[in-house]
């Protein structure tokens, strides 16, 4: 089984506003409320692609109950620890005309040491039947910045591969522990070890350094619709054009889910990248987060440009 860890889940509220600008008062033409947090998103997309996962982390209050309820109805296995406080709500405003997204995130509930210890014991229990761990997103208050390190270490002791999709200090700390896969999002991380993540050359330098830490696959976003993949087979660039794109919201997690599913099915590196990118593109073609189904994803593979960089 694949386990996704979301330590700081959220309700994602996405508002579509025809022309949004700060300081004004607007009516949304459409509102979308979904459970969120990177790990949960990956679980939901993998379910849409037909793969079972178990989602774990911390939930709190009414928002936490809502998330659990949606996951339950989607028949996703859950093992969340319910804590005091309230799970956060993240607000995204999509400007339909300017095609600009604005986001606002809350910090999340405080997690005590006792609760961390309880989480670890749940994590160790579930690892007994786990084939891959996906760690995603920010850390709620109370969780130490190097917590992902510990989770990667515990998984590695049991020979279980890990996939981390995070940003900032928690990601930097986790990289030292050598996860199997790491996704570095340029939007949330401007630079890595002094290398600005803007030009292609700089990105290649950064992913090469990350790879040297023992990370087999490094995925770094490049421009708006592309990613650089450092894989055991070489460095590749894959991109898609902006035709028909409505919202990139959740596309990163669809990419992660696509890479996981294709890896599980034994596809080769190129096929995995194409499938993952097609999942990301499919996610971007509608306001709804996630992908419609596998067939819809496969249809988009011809739209992905693929280039070997070295």
Partner 1 sequence: MQICEVMDRDLTALSPDTTLSEAIEVLTRHRVSGIPVVDPSGRVLGFVSEKDIVKAALPGYFDYLQDPSFIPDYGQFQKRLKKIGQDPISKVMAKDVVSFSEEDSDFYVAITLIRNHLKRAPVVRDGILVGVVNRADLLERIMMEEEPPSFA
Looking at the Cβ atoms of 119 and 275, the one nearer to partner 1 is 119
Q: Which stretch binds partner 1 (CB under 8 A): 124-132, 145-153, 243-251, 282-290?
A: 124-132
HSE at residue 5, side-chain half, CA atoms within 13 A, is 27
Q: Choose which of 124, 176, 265, 307 interacts with partner 1 (CB under 8 A).
A: 124
Q: Which stretch binds partner 1 (CB under 8 A): 123-131, 132-140, 250-258, 286-294?
A: 123-131
- The angle subtended at Cα 38 by Cα 195 and Cα 198, nearest 5°, is 20
**CB-based contacts of 15: which residues, under 8 Å, 6+ apart?**
28, 30, 31, 91, 92, 93, 94
Is residue 80 within the footprint of partner 1 (CB under 8 A)? yes
**CB-based contacts of 232: which residues, under 8 Å, 6+ apart?**
216, 217, 269
DSSP for 68-104 reads: HHHHHHTT-EEEEEEESS--EEEEEEEETTTTEEEEE
Is residue 54 within the footprint of partner 1 (CB under 8 A)? yes
Looking at the Cβ atoms of 66 and 306, the one nearer to partner 1 is 66
Is residue 79 within the footprint of partner 1 (CB under 8 A)? yes
| 115 close to 123: Cβ distance less than 8 angstroms | no
Is residue 158 within the footprint of partner 1 (CB under 8 A)? no
Mask: binding to partner 1, 59-78, rule CB under 8 A, as x and -? Answer: ------x--x---x--xxxx
User: Residues interacting with partner 1, by CB under 8 A?
Assistant: 54, 65, 68, 72, 75-80, 82-83, 121-122, 124-126, 128-129
């Amino acid at each position: 089984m694949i386990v996704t860890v979301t330590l700081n889940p959220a309700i994602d509220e996405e508002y579509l506003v025809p022309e949004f600008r700060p300081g004004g008062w607007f009516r949304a033409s459409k509102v979308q409320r979904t459970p969120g947090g990177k790990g949960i998103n990956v679980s939901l997309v993998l379910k849409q692609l037909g793969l079972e996962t178990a989602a774990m982390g911390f939930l709190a209050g009414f928002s936490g109950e809502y998330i659990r309820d949606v996951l339950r109805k989607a028949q996703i296995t859950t093992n969340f620890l319910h804590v005091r406080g309230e799970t956060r709500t993240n607000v995204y405003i999509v400007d339909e005309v300017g095609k600009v997204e604005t986001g606002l995130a809350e910090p999340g509930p405080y997690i005590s040491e006792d609760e961390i210890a309880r989480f670890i014991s749940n994590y160790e229990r579930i690892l007994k039947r786990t084939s891959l761990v996906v760690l995603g997103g920010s850390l709620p208050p109370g969780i130490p910045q190097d917590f992902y390190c510990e989770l990667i270490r515990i998984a590695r002791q049991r020979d279980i591969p890990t996939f981390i999709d995070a940003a900032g200090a928690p990601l930097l700390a986790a990289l030292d522990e050598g996860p199997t896969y790491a996704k570095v999002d340029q939007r949330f991380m401007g630079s890595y070890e002094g290398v600005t993540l803007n030009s292609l050359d700089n990105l290649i330098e950064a992913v090469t350094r990350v790879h040297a830490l023992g990370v087999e696959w490094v995925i770094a976003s490049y421009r708006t619709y592309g990613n650089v993949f450092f894989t055991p087979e070489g460095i590749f660039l894959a991109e898609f054009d902006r035709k028909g794109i409505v919202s990139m919201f959740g596309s990163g997690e669809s990419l992660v889910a696509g890479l996981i599913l294709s890896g599980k099915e034994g596809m080769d590196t190129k096929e995995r990248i194409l499938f993952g990118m097609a999942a990301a593109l499919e996610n971007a073609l509608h306001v709804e987060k996630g992908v419609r189904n596998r067939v819809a994803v496969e249809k988009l593979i011809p739209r992905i440009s693929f280039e070997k960089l070295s």
